[in-house]
Amino acid sequence: MDTLKSAWKGMETEHTQQEKLRGMLLERRHPVLKDIRWQMIIEVIIFSVLLLVYYDFFDGDRKPLYANLLLAGSLLFAVLHSIGGYLLARRKIYDANLSQSLMRSLSAMRRFAFMSISSRAATAVCLLLFFTAAISFNTGKYIILAGIAVIFLIQMWILIRMWRNRIRRLEDSVRSLQGQ
């Protein structure tokens, strides 16, 4: 009898399932939005701190003006991009037709993926330009630069694959709703 009572108490009723779903729809409790928000907060803090200290810590006064402007611009763009990504992810869809909603989301995701990849590439290139602007290169430094470039290319490949998979999953959802 005790086993039956504990099983009865442990069962989720339709009401408790609906409450869990309602709780997940709240922005602060949504599991995906929570992860995106933490990523955004971490990125904004890191980029903002780097933006505040790069001139003093990394001898910005000894670098050319273009390198300083490019670095500051790319870091500001990265901060704005992170915030924009979070706002895009939390945007609710209010279309009458689910298929149209998914098509609109797919279009927005493609645009954001392009911006995401471009933003990361621009930030990495600007960081490299800034840190290499006042360096006289020799063979060892060229090897280090090549290693950094390889790491950057691997990161870009991973980012492109990640976005391609996300877009493909959403395209599959759209196709399944359209009956293809």
Structural domain boundaries of the chain? 16-178
pTM score of the predicted model: 0.71
State the CB neighbour count (10 A cutoff) for residue 119.
Answer: 19
State the CB neighbour count (10 A cutoff) for residue 123.
Answer: 19
**What percent of the chain stands above pLDDT 70?**
79
Residues 6+ apart with CB under 8 A from 30: 24, 90
Tens of pLDDT, residues 50-92 = 888 888 888 888 889 999 999 999 988 888 888 888 888 777 7
pLDDT classification of 106: cutoffs 50, 70, 90: confident
The two three-digit tokens of residue 18, written as one number: 């609906």
CA distance 83 to 41: 9
Q: What is the pLDDT of residue 27?
A: 53
